[in-house]
């Protein structure tokens, strides 16, 4: 751990980005958030707005037509979209998750082939790691890839795949040498239209209902050998490096959801009157808001510090303790988001429990941030093994 004070302060450019994304989110995404949740439909309006403003995949390097945004800028985009719609924030978040293995480990040819259309908004990316019997124990996956001449043939099932069926491109982890356990796992790019690729029915979920979560079935899917990402046997290492960076984007989603709930609760307690005055004048309510704001700001500083480390590692720095700080940011921010959204529902009383008000949706959306990209129990294991 660096001994110097390591608070990462957003630059003026970052502040300008936040203002522009917030304005866009409030104008083009927020009006559809309740409908997207109620109908459990993909937020096409959000995708269209994000693509039109080059905010759907800001992490893609400039050499492939992307904005080349740093890790903090990506965090800010996700945070501000999540502030109004958790489902929609998974568009930029999962585009990064799915494509980062390509950025980290793929050949120049693969990068150009798949990152260029992503940057243009012509495609979306998803990430296929988890399986029915391999969740927290990702190394226990059973999906196999067998070399056959100039091709690889993939067979297996991937579960809990975010934006499955909507995304055009998938990073798939598969076993290429069963005797080597995690060192026998490789990464591949699979396209939605490859023969043998199909999808299960959308899961019926508690929250983030606008982002489809489906199984991905691989039935003798034959792909060209050059779609192997990196060297054979390096897929698991690439997957773990990816999560070091992208757990920070889940922290960002949690921040945004929590901020949206806090903002709404603050306004509500000034309008709602009981005993002849706004309930915001009561000390018990004030203490709740103070605790919510305190937890949120602590989570934000930890997340931004982790984003700074992510960026420095991306630029070639070493010894940044990214594994610890990525896990810590995701764990702390998601726990804080669950507490803050639950308190927001409490502050609205009976109204908070109804779908006429957005905080119950935010509470439901917040829950998944404690679960995906590694449960918070797993994050604590990761942190304990990587103490700075």
pLDDT in tens, 127-154: 999 999 999 999 999 999 999 999 999 9
Please state, in angstroms and rounded to a whole number, the distance separating the CA atoms of residues 177 and 130.
18
**Which one from 80, 131, 320, 373 is the annotated catalytic residue?**
373
Please state, in angstroms and rounded to a whole number, the distance separating the CA atoms of residues 281 and 270.
8
pLDDT of amino acid 8:
64
- Read off the pLDDT of each residue in 312-319 and give the average, rounded to a whole number: 88
Judge whether 257 and 83 are in contact, CB under 8 Å: yes
Phi, psi of 228 (to 5 degrees): -70, 130
Q: Does pTM surpass 0.85?
A: yes
Please state, in angstroms and rounded to a whole number, the distance separating the CA atoms of residues 300 and 337.
11
Is the pLDDT score of 329 beyond 70?
A: yes
Is the pLDDT score of 118 beyond 90?
A: yes
Judge whether 116 and 126 are in contact, CB under 8 Å: no
pLDDT of amino acid 9:
74
Please state, in angstroms and rounded to a whole number, the distance separating the CA atoms of residues 196 and 217.
8
Please state, in angstroms and rounded to a whole number, the distance separating the CA atoms of residues 130 and 132.
7
pLDDT of amino acid 97:
98
Please state, in angstroms and rounded to a whole number, the distance separating the CA atoms of residues 368 and 5.
32
Label the pairing between strands 197-199 and 213-224. Answer: antiparallel
- Read off the pLDDT of each residue in 92-96 and give the average, rounded to a whole number: 98
Residues of CATH 1.20.140.10 domain(s) within the chain?
236-385
Q: What is the pLDDT of residues 271-308, one digit of tens each?
A: 999 999 999 999 999 999 999 999 999 999 999 999 99
Report how far apart, in Å, the C-alpha atoms of 41 and of each of 21, 46, 124, 203, 286 are. Answer: 22, 12, 17, 12, 37
Is the pLDDT score of 6 beyond 70?
A: no
Instruction: Round the average pLDDT of the chain to a whole number and report it.
Output: 96
Q: What is the pLDDT of residues 54-91, one digit of tens each?
A: 999 999 999 999 999 999 999 999 999 999 999 999 99
- Read off the pLDDT of each residue in 245-269 and give the average, rounded to a whole number: 98
Confidence of residue 1 (pLDDT cuts 50, 70, 90): very low
Query: Under CATH, domain 125-233 is a member of which superfamily?
Result: Butyryl-CoA Dehydrogenase, subunit A, domain 2 (2.40.110.10)
Residues of CATH 1.10.540.10 domain(s) within the chain?
12-120
- Is 373 a residue of the active site? yes
Confidence of residue 320 (pLDDT cuts 50, 70, 90): confident
- CATH classification (class only), 12-120: mainly alpha
pLDDT of amino acid 2:
41
Residues of CATH 2.40.110.10 domain(s) within the chain?
125-233
- CATH classification (class only), 236-385: mainly alpha
Is the pLDDT score of 376 beyond 80?
A: yes
pLDDT of amino acid 26:
98
Nearest one of 168, 155, 70 to 116, comparing CA atoms: 168
The percentage of residues in the chain with a pLDDT greater than 70, rounded to a whole number, is 98
Phi, psi of 111 (to 5 degrees): -60, -50
pLDDT of amino acid 147:
98
Distance of CA 283 to the CA centre of its chain: 36
């Amino acid at each position: 751990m660096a001994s110097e004070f390591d608070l990462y302060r957003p630059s003026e450019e970052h502040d300008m980005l936040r203002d522009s994304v917030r304005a866009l989110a409030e104008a083009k995404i927020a009006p559809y958030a309740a409908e997207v949740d109620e109908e459990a439909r993909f937020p096409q309006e959000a995708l269209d707005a994000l693509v039109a403003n080059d905010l759907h995949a800001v992490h893609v390097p400039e050499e492939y037509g992307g904005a080349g945004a740093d890790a903090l800028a990506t965090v800010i985009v996700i945070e501000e979209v999540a502030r109004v719609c958790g489902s929609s924030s998974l568009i930029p978040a999962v585009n990064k998750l799915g494509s980062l293995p390509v950025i980290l480990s793929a050949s120049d040819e693969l990068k150009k082939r798949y990152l260029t259309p992503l940057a243009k908004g012509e495609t979306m990316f998803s990430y296929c790691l988890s399986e029915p019997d391999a969740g927290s124990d990702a190394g226990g996956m059973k999906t196999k890839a067998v070399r056959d001449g100039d091709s690889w043939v993939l067979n297996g099932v991937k579960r809990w795949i975010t934006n499955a069926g909507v995304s055009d491109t998938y990073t798939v982890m598969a076993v290429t040498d069963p005797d080597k356990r995690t060192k026998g796992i490789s990464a591949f790019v699979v396209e939605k239209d490859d023969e043998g690729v199909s999808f299960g029915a959308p899961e019926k979920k508690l929250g983030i209902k606008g982002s489809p979560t489906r199984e991905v079935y691989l039935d003798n899917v034959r792909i060209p050998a050059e779609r192997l990402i990196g060297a054979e046997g390096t897929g698991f290492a690439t997957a773990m490096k990816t999560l070091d960076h992208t757990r920070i984007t889940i922290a960002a989603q949690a921040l945004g959801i929590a901020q949206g709930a806090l903002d709404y609760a603050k306004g509500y307690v000034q309008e709602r009157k009981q005993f002849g005055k706004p309930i915001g004048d009561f000390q018990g309510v004030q203490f709740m808001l103070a605790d919510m704001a305190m937890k949120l700001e602590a989570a934000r500083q930890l997340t931004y510090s982790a984003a700074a480390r992510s960026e420095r590692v991306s630029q070639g720095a070493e010894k940044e303790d990214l594994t610890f700080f990525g896990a810590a940011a995701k764990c702390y921010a998601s726990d804080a988001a669950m507490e803050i959204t639950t308190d927001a529902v409490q502050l609205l009383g009976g109204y908070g429990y109804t779908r006429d008000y957005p905080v119950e949706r935010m509470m439901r959306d917040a829950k998944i941030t404690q679960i995906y990209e590694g449960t918070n129990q797993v994050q604590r294991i990761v942190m304990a093994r990587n103490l700075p």
